[in-house]
Amino acid sequence: MSVADAMLTRAQTVRRLRWSYRFKVPLALSAVALAAGVAVATTTYLLVYRFVEANAVAQTQRLARTLARSLVQPVLSNDVWQAFQTVRAAALAPDSRDSAPLQIVVVDSLGEVFVALDPQAHPLGSSATRLPAPLAAAARWVQTVNPGSDAYIHEDEASNSLIAAERLIGEEETLVGGVIVQQEYGITRAQAREVAKRLAALGAGAIMLIAGIGWVGGRRMIRPLEKLRAAMQAVPAADVRPTVAEVSRLNDEVGDLGNAFLSMMDEIDAKRELEREMLQAERMASIGRLTAGIAHEVNNPLGGMLHAIQNRRLRGGVDEATERTLALLERGLDQIHSTVNALLNEARRELHELREDDLHDLYLLLHPEAQSVDCALEWRVQAPVARALPSVPVRQVLLNLTLNAIAAAGRGGRVQVLGEAADAAWRVRVANTGAVLDARQFAQMCAAQPRAEDSRTGLGLWITARILHTVGGRLELSAAPPAGFVTELIAAFPTFASDTPR
């Protein structure tokens, strides 16, 4: 692999790196704090440096001006000692100890050194031209007839110093001499390093504190997004609505995102519910078609056999034994025919009011089921008088509740089905012995949630509750079952006048 290919692969790898916002936001805030700290420290250092520079210029000029006023008389009287004492006192003044002048030189009107702070470096009577170049330039300015300015100030970059000069003016504006002051410009390198160290130490502490606050604040800011992300990943395995509702209460963009996610979940749930209802309707339609076909195939031979029995009786000559046999066959074939018609009516979706025949057909379907498990079925259900009920949902609800009760009662159990009329309603009470159905299990079954003990879903009660909800009724679990029974379910149907259009 060539170097170019390796660099390209590395660049692609870097682009694929996925940084979570859990780290992006805190790191960004910490980086902003770091940049702000560095900017503040740098600005402070520059301001301090500029202030010291300006203060040094003013102090140097002030010292030169003060000495110029004090040295006129000693220079005129040629009092070298008094002039030296004045220069030395100015150099050792309390306000000048922190920034003591490097050199003070006083020259006379002839351009010779009159007195110096360092006599060994600049002997008395020596020519000013022998001074260092910056000081010699200042001495020449003193000797200039028309210098063009009242004060002389010069920055010597080689020695990082300021050089100020003032004339000594006597009576009648005569030139007596001049004073030259050389002082450090601004702060020294050692002082600059010390200031930089202190600013760095203070800045590092402040930056660490601000960066820590930024990290904690960033993590708190990103926490709602983390909750929303975890909730999105947990759908649909877990119920995440409480978590998303907590996020949606925030009055910001994250709260808007939580509200949008809740709306999307509601739409998905509604779509799933619609799909379940459509699937259930399709299944019921398929069952109806299958049942109609079976009923047709069974009724044809049944009709032939019943006609054969009638023909045999019409021909006469039937003795008592044969009549008993024919009667037994006829009752059995009639029972088969009634059972098939009841099953066919259950599968059909025709709209008509509930009749006694519908309830009798249901009993014919349910009684053999109870007998097969040796379960006693007590059936006391009559259609309401002067009030009407839709036949299809009533038959479906009664069938589901009674079959569930028979299954719960088990072999040798008892099931009681009672119908009773109330104000604008008709209730059916289905009680059973055997297994107890508590409120938690009832709520889970009505919500079509799996039961923990066998991980199955009680679709029978869920479908029953859905049917009752569709017609405006309700399904309840009785808190006080009848004596001798452990569980009682109550299905309440709204009734209407028999001539009311539906």
Q: Specify whether 186 is located in the same domain as 50.
A: yes
Residue 86's pLDDT is what?
Answer: 87
**pLDDT value at residue 125:** 85
For residue 115, tell me if it sits in a domain.
Answer: yes
Q: Are residues 383 and 304 in the same domain?
A: no
Q: Taking the CA atoms of the chain, what radius of gyration do you get in angstroms?
A: 56
205 domain-assigned? no
- pLDDT tens for each residue of 96-116: 545 556 789 998 888 888 888
Assess whether 362 and 267 both reside in one domain.
no
What residues does 390 pair with on adjacent strands?
353
- Domain membership of residue 7 (yes or no) is no
In a domain? residue 225: no
Tell which of 192, 212, 236 closes a domain.
192
Tell me, what CATH number does 308's domain have? 1.10.287
Q: Looking at the structure, do residues 340 and 366 belong to the same domain, yes or no?
A: no
177 and 46 in a common domain:
yes
Last residue within a domain, chosen from 287, 316, 349: 349
Does residue 112 share a domain with residue 186? Answer: yes
Residues 181-195: pLDDT tens digits?
988 776 655 666 777
| Residues 6+ away with beta carbon under 8 Å from 105 | 113, 115, 116, 117, 122, 128, 131, 135, 139, 179, 180, 182
The whole-number pLDDT of residue 452 equals 46
Q: Chain centroid to CA 416: how far?
A: 54
pLDDT at 359: 84
In a shared domain, residues 395 and 432: yes
Tell me the C-alpha distance between 492 and 424, whole Å. Answer: 10
pLDDT at 456: 40
Domain count, the chain: 3
**Is 141 within the bounds of a domain?**
yes
Element holding 194 (H helix, E strand): helix 189-234
Query: Same structural domain for residues 442 and 467?
Result: yes
> What secondary structure letter does DSSP report for 127?
B
Q: What is the CATH number of the domain that holds 59?
A: 3.30.450.20
Q: Of the candidates 137, 169, 192, which is a domain's last residue?
A: 192
Q: What is the rounded CA–CA span in Å between residue 283 and residue 152?
A: 109
The verdict on 339 and 369 lying in the same domain is no
Same domain, 338 and 420: no
- Does 212 reside within a domain? no
Q: Give the Å distances, CA to CA, from 450 to 132, 276, 442, 459, 467.
A: 102, 16, 11, 10, 20
- Parent domain of 104: 21-192
The series of mean pLDDT values per 10 residues for the chain, 502 residues long, is 60 54 70 78 77 78 85 86 87 60 84 87 86 86 70 79 86 84 70 74 78 76 79 77 81 82 84 81 74 77 83 82 83 75 58 76 85 91 78 83 90 92 83 88 72 48 80 87 91 72 46
Residue 65 lies in a domain: yes
Residues 495 and 359 grouped into a single domain: yes
Contacts of 186 (CB under 8 A, 6+ apart): 49, 52, 53, 56, 160
Q: Give the separation between CA 488 and CA 483, rounded to whole angstroms.
A: 11
Count of residues in the chain: 502
The answer to whether position 69 is within a domain reads: yes
Q: Are residues 436 and 403 in the same domain?
A: yes
- Give the tokens for residue 82: 């008094």
